[in-house]
Amino acid sequence: MARTSREASAADESQETLPLLKYDTFEPTRPLYSLDVRIDPAVEEKWIEDASPTKLRVADVQVMDWNHANTKGCSPRHRASVRKFSDFSDEGVDGEGLNILLDPYYDVTTGRMRRLFAFFTHDDNDLVTYDAFHHGLLALGIVCPEGADFDSFVSKVDTNQDQRISFPEFVQVVQMIKQAHLCKPEYRAQAAALPAVIRVVDYSALTIHTVDPVRKLESFMFSTKPTWAKVRWVHMAGISDLNDLHIRRLAIKYQLHPLAVEDCLKKSDIIRCKYEHYEDHSFLVVPVTRPVDEAKSRLIQNYIQQHRIQLFERDQALADGNEDGADDYTDLKPAALHDMLKNLHCLMRKPQQLCIFMARDNNVLSVQEDPDVDRNGDVSSCFQLWGAMYNDNMGKPYSKLRNHDAYFLVAAILNAIVDDMRPLIQVFEVKVAVLEALQVLEGTKFDTKLVSHAKKQLVALDKLIRPFLDLIEGPLSDQDHFQSGEVKNYVRDVKDHLKQMASNVKEYQAALLAIVADDQYTRAKAQADVSYTISVVAALFLPGTFMTGLYGMNFDNMPELHTQNGYYVWWVVFLSICTGMVSYLKYYRGWI
């Protein structure tokens, strides 16, 4: 059972207490477990400050100034140490200045941080003295303002007080300082104007903590996943531009690779499917499409349901031996069929891409291009991944999602995306049947543009399904995380659905080709019938033409010209010949 735990607020602040599993063999009507659900309103939104390897806190790094555009060069002694201790080849490091290591995506990946740390290393133990650390921060453009105590600052960085700074301590300091830089007042107004909505859920098997939406963004960026939580899912809906502030903050928080961030930020009409594995995270891009709005979705589901009922009734009629007992679309009037096709003319919205980052410690970040709420507050026309995953699955008293790790969440997201796409394929069974009936009813008046439009829709869907299927069968199938346990079953189910959808697309394309062929045959037959009718009429008048030409010569010695009833005799002879020809063609030759 679900409850809002205002009574347990003290326990939630520590985020350390797990609810106990309660069994009662004497009262089987009671639930076997209790689910602690907490959805924080804005006034109660709380975050746990990042449990870093240092003693630094947010207030300590906020006093530091960072100007990444005004970095200072390193001494030759530092450059020499780079050539000696860098994990990369000498050829790649010698010609690379420190400014090149800093890019507009605020790259804090482990590989990049290791190269930066190598600039300040003086000995073989990969530790940095306080003085070298100070010079390293200056080289990065990070300075301690006048009046601030740098010794106090660096002592908090050095957790074991060995007068040396280790690589994990260095990474944590750089992350926190860069994050603090993006939380300065000049960035707060920019963040408030962004249309994106960020939602966060921490969950374990029996506990779930949701913040929807996140309003204290700065506190969240410096927070960490609670120790009781198995998975943290961060969902961001809406990307503003290539310099999206939220993405830059998240890139620092989860050490996202610049190439992955670039793919996430660049909107394109060409939707790609890809999976990349980096040192700090994995990156997945999949296409997303859905019906135009909720009304269109209900209409599609209604058509599919009615079609299935019609097929069932037809099967029952055939089982009873009544071949004419079941109705089909040919029993409808063409106007009704045209109305159905008009309703199915525009099926889906423009596809967008969904980016999924699978970071360390079971952190999952998903980013969709468009917001899930439009300017008028309407959600019916937007992609509702959060609603599909949280409201319909994760937030229920029992959910398989909460009993598995982050990779199971990713598999469930893929399954939700495919489930949204399936009705768009299934409704083509209705559309093809309507087009077949309309072609039969209208004959030569059938408009083939309707078939062409349906073909274009299928091609657009095929461009989404084929790469998606290749992604599931290719890169994802090579990852151990997606090929073990229950995750494997869900990924296999997604693959089966995509295979069925791809097969259905081929079948519907073949059915549309058959409709075009039937239309061509109908038009050719109608044209042949017209030509045959004209030929028969011409053949019937051929004797009359001959007789007219014969007696039109007006010779004096032609006795029929002076017959008193010659005109009537001409018509009797002509009609007799026509009657004989029609009887010959119809009854003897069977051509009419």
- Tell me which residue of 45, 415, 6, 410 sits closest to 216, measured CA to CA: 45
Give dist(CA 132, CA 138) in Å, integer: 10
Q: Give me the pLDDT at residue 25, please.
A: 38
What DSSP designation does 3 have? E
First and final C-alpha spacing in the chain: 80
Token pair, residue 244, equals 């999206």
* Residues β-bridged to residue 116: none
567-to-368, 408, 560 alpha-carbon distances in Å: 90, 98, 9
HSE-up of residue 533 (Cα within 13 Å, Cβ side): 6
What sign does the CA torsion over 38, 39, 45, 46 have? positive
What DSSP designation does 443 have? G
Give dist(CA 322, CA 342) in Å, integer: 33
Q: Give me the pLDDT at residue 455, please.
A: 93
Token pair, residue 545, equals 């033409």
- Under 8 Å between Cβ of 508 and 462: no
- Under 8 Å between Cβ of 420 and 334: no
The domains of the chain are located at 40-72+98-182, 184-292+346-403, 527-553+564-588
Query: 26 exposed, middle or buried (CB, 10 Å; 0-12, 13-18, 19+)?
Result: exposed
Q: Give me the pLDDT at residue 328, please.
A: 75
40-72+98-182 CATH choice from 1.10.10.60, 1.10.238.10, 2.40.50.140, 1.10.150.530: 1.10.238.10
Q: Give me the pLDDT at residue 36, please.
A: 59
- Under 8 Å between Cβ of 381 and 458: no
- Under 8 Å between Cβ of 364 and 292: no
Q: Give me the pLDDT at residue 90, please.
A: 34
372: CB partners within 8 A, 6+ apart: 197, 237, 238, 379, 382, 383, 384, 385, 386, 387
Token pair, residue 512, equals 């549309």
What DSSP designation does 392 have? I
Query: 213 exposed, middle or buried (CB, 10 Å; 0-12, 13-18, 19+)?
Result: middle
**Domain 184-292+346-403: CATH superfamily, name plus number:** CorA soluble domain-like (3.30.460.20)
Token pair, residue 91, equals 């050829």
Q: Give me the pLDDT at residue 43, please.
A: 46
Q: Give me the pLDDT at residue 381, please.
A: 53
Residue carrying structure tokens 């940095």: 128
SS3 of 64-114: the string is: CEECCCCCCCCCHHHHHHHHHHCCCCHHHHHCCCHHHHCCCCCCCCHHHHH
* Residues β-bridged to residue 198: 236
Percent of the chain at pLDDT exceeding 90: 23
Strands 281-288 and 363-368: unpaired
Length of the chain: 592
Task: Mark out the alpha helices in 280-357 (DSSP H runs).
Answer: 294-319, 334-343
pLDDT digits (tens), the chain, 592 positions: 334 444 444 444 444 333 333 333 334 444 445 555 655 554 467 787 765 666 667 776 776 766 655 444 444 443 333 333 333 333 333 333 344 334 544 688 888 888 777 777 755 567 877 777 777 777 777 777 776 677 777 777 777 777 777 888 888 888 888 888 788 777 777 787 787 889 999 998 888 888 888 888 888 888 888 888 999 999 998 887 767 788 888 998 999 998 888 888 877 767 788 999 999 999 999 988 888 888 888 999 999 999 898 888 888 877 777 766 556 788 888 899 999 999 998 888 888 889 999 998 999 999 988 877 665 555 555 677 887 888 777 777 778 888 888 999 999 999 999 988 999 999 999 999 999 999 999 888 899 999 999 999 999 999 999 999 999 998 888 888 888 888 999 999 999 999 999 999 999 999 999 999 999 999 999 888 888 888 888 888 888 888 888 777 777 777 777 777 878 888 888 888 888 888 888 888 777 7
What DSSP designation does 291 have? B
Q: Give me the pLDDT at residue 216, please.
A: 87
Token pair, residue 67, equals 């100007």
Alpha-carbon torsion, ordered 113, 119, 125, 130, to 10 deg: -100
- Under 8 Å between Cβ of 142 and 180: no
> Rounded to 5 degrees, what are φ and ψ at 35?
-110, 125
- Under 8 Å between Cβ of 381 and 349: yes
What DSSP designation does 160 have? S
